[in-house]
Structure 1
Amino acid sequence: MRPIDLLNGRLKLRHLVLVVAIADHGSVLRAARHLRLAQPAVTRSLREVEDVLGVELFTRGPRGVTPTLFGEAFVEHARAVLAELRRAGERIAELADARVGTVTIGTLLAGSNVLLPRAIAALKRDRPGITVIVREATFDIQAPRLLDGELDMILGRLNPIDDLRGLRQITLYSEPVRLVARRDHPARSRGGLALRDLLDYPWVLPLEQTALRQELEQVFRDEGLPPPTDLVECTSILTVRTLVRDTDMIAALPELVAVTDGEIAPLPVPLEPVRRHVGVTLPDGRPLTPSARVMLDHLRREAAALTGEAALSGRSGR
């Protein structure tokens, strides 16, 4: 198959928008509604794209459409092109008025619940014209979006990026992970409480593919104990906190979370090897927009303030 010339004018920007919309919505009809177009117009434009490429991009089924192998490849590149065009528009707007713009942050489900709100609040006080978009997902979903330009940065617990080219990381702070339970949890009445005793209660743990889950399971192995079997797997920080507050469940949470909720508190069972390194993952070969640079500056300042507060709290608790 000879290379296809997509710069000869036949492929239009609207074609890219349309194909991405169909992939996102899984249906020509839903894509048409999203784009506020008539369904026949969307169907006709899709045929135009497929004629230009000479391949079928979607297979039609009773419940919608599914991208073919060619469709998945084209959608990936279409997203990247649209993201770069959005960034170009934002860059021009920001250069014209340095106090407006947009920064899009990917945040991990179990991370940055203290740092991010504080940094956003500081940013909005400083630059009220900047719009902040926050998108939550796991790192394996966020990383491709960052590489494609849909995200400016990923904030949360740092994940290994050895197998991902084009990314770099900045550590903002480090904190211990603590075992927590509600303040009137029955385990608190036990003398000499140890990790073994906590296996008598239900647990809520991160998903198996997360780094924190692997580290926690290693703690159990080091103690010669099996991991909890009565458990819920969850990475939603809001759900975890609610389960811990309302039941006998035990969870492992970052210290900043554990000490800022009045209804839960750390248990006197150490997890010495387990720490959370919080930072940002950035595109290595793409400069940050002015808005993203301002956001990063605020994240650094708020992280330094959190580190100082944690040190002061530690000294006063001795």
Structure 2
Amino acid sequence: MTIAAMPDRAKITPQSESENGAGAALPGLAMDPRKLLYMVTAIEQGSLSKAAKKLSISQPALTKSMDRLEHELGMQLLTRTPTGIIPTPLGELVYSHAKLIRDEIDLAETRLRADSAATNVVTVGTLPSIASRALPLAVARWKAQVPNVMLRVIERRQVDLLLGLFRREFDFVIAQTEFFDIFPEGLKQRVLFRDRLCVFARPDHYLFGLVEPSWADLARFPWVSPMIGWHQRAVFEKLVEAEGVPPPQQFIECGSIEFTKTLVAESDHLALLPAHSTIVEVKEGSIKVLPITFPALKRNIAVIFRETAPLNDMHRDFIAHLEAVGKELCTE
């Protein structure tokens, strides 16, 4: 990232009294974008000397820049300690916004390099559950045909995948179909296959000794669940609510499918997982589907892409392999 090319100063001025209808306008805050980016590096390095080296400037110049930033804002942003620097609460607030500026610049540079490069690069966003088995199998088949193409695979939750797609971070994403009444404007989706969610436990779990385990029985045990905002978590919460059962008292939140499967195999924890993501573990006998009766839990897995960036032949070939693999796994 080239900080030296940044404009010298951006002044942020609140709305006037006539515009916001409130009392007297607050004084404007003069923020130098270059100093904000310097501050990000300083906080992440934890030391002004390390940050200065990374920024290729002298430590006295960086120290002077940080002092001026604090003076311009009229607040202390950094606390100097014998072992380095740490942000104050206000410094943490400024850092969270300044980091977004830095990330946007990095993203712009990455896009410019990608557009000017001659090599083929495909960037795919995906749900962790799809990345655990279906996607790797499809990639193996696809890469055998296009060995010189670079592939980037990034795992995120559904909402972050869509946001990343709008931000042009991905060529396309593999996720569940959107369930809103109105599909997000500017995006298109095509269903590839349907997978099924099941409750898993270790084979010698107490619940397998019950003739007909109920949701009340399941709620007595600890669960490992995706974090709030993930599809499986929402499905689980709706199921428990529909059965009129209090939610489990013990929860571990985790976005990793591999962590979830291992924890289930090694403890009394239960988890709601896509069946295709557990094929290997089920065959090995480390985890097992519980015979719990509930409405069919199926979801459509789709490719989602921007209308302004339609899929090319290479993308369609990749997606065709994933579609075939998904259908094979979900019929086993």
Same-fold call, TM cutoff 0.5: yes
2:171 paired with 1:152: yes
Match of 1:215 in 2: 235
The residue that corresponds to 1:278 in the other structure is: 301
1:114 and 2:141 correspond = no
Matches within 5 A, 1:219-230: 219-230=239-250
Find the residue that maps to 2:308 and give its secondary structure. coil
Residues 33 and 159 (structure 1), Cα distance of their counterparts in 2 relative to 1, 3 Å cut: farther
1: CA distance, partners of 2:179 / 2:113: 29
Over aligned residue pairs, what C-alpha RMSD do you find?
3.9
> Using a 3 Å threshold, how does the CA distance of structure 1 residues 33 and 252 change in structure 2: closer, same or farther?
farther
Instruction: Specify the code of the residue in structure 1 equivalent to 2:233.
Output: R
Rounded Cα–Cα distance in structure 1 between residues aligned with 2:248 and 2:300 = 25
Which of 121, 125, 138 is the aligned partner of 2:144?
125
User: How big is the shift at 1:125?
Assistant: 1.0
Does the C-alpha gap of structure 1 residues 194 and 26 become closer, same or farther in structure 2, counting only changes over 3 Å? same
Contact 1:188 1:267 in 2 (8 A): yes
- 2:113 maps to a residue whose letter is R
Shift of 1:214: 1.8
Match of 2:224 in 1: 204
Residue 123 of structure 1 deviates from its aligned partner by 2.4
User: Out of 84, 89, 94, which is 2:116 matched to?
Assistant: 89
* Cα distance change, pair 34–201 in 1 and its aligned pair in 2 (3 A): same
What is the CA distance between 1:127 and its match in structure 2? 1.3
Q: Distance in 2 between matches of 1:20 and 1:128?
A: 39
CA 1:310–1:72 in structure 2 vs 1: closer, same or farther (change >3 Å)? closer
Q: CA deviation at 1:148?
A: 2.3
User: Among residues 307, 310, 323, which one is paired with 1:303 in the alignment?
Assistant: 323
Are 1:252 and 2:279 an aligned pair? no
Cα deviation, residue 21, structure 1? 9.1
| Cα deviation 1:97-140 (Å, max 9, x = unaligned) | xxx52222222334432221012212221111112222223233
Instruction: Give secondary structure in 1 for the equivalent of 2:131.
Output: coil
Cα pair distance change 1:18/1:284, threshold 3 Å: farther
Cα offsets for 1:55-112 (capped at 9, x unmatched): 99xx95233676579857755753553243133124xx1xxxxxx5222222233443
Q: How far is the alpha carbon of 1:273 from its aligned partner?
A: 4.1
Match of 1:316 in 2: none
**Distance of 2:57 and 2:329 partners within structure 1:** 57
Q: Which amino acid aligns with 2:243?
A: E
Question: Identity of paired residues, percent?
Answer: 23
1:61 aligns with 2:84: no
Gaps of 5+ in 1: 1-8, 94-99, 314-318
1:198 Cα offset (Å): 1.8
| Shift in Å, 1:155 | 2.2
Q: Using the TM superposition, name which of 69-78 and 294-303 deviates more.
A: 69-78
1:80/1:149 contact within 8 Å kept: no
Q: Which has the larger radius of gyration?
A: 2
Q: TM-score, normalised by structure 1?
A: 0.71
* C-alpha deviation, 1:267, in angstroms: 0.9
Give distance in 2, aligned partners of 1:72 and 1:182.
43
Compared with structure 1, are the counterparts of its residues 269 and 17 closer, same or farther at alpha carbon in structure 2 (3 Å cutoff)?
farther
Secondary structure at the aligned position of 1:128 is classed as coil
The answer (yes or no) to whether the contact 2:225–2:233 under 8 Å persists in 1 is yes
* TM-score (normalised: structure 2): 0.69
Q: In structure 1, what residue type is equivalent to 2:111?
A: E
Instruction: Sort the Cα spacing of 1:287 and 1:303 in 2 relative to 1 into closer, same or farther, 3 A.
Output: closer
Could you list the runs of 5+ residues in structure 2 that have no partner in the other structure? 9-32, 80-85
Return the alpha-carbon distance in structure 2 between the equivalents of residues 198 and 241 of structure 1: 17
Moved more, 64-73 or 247-256: 64-73
Cα distance in structure 1, aligned partners of 2:200 and 2:294: 11
Displacement of 1:234: 1.6
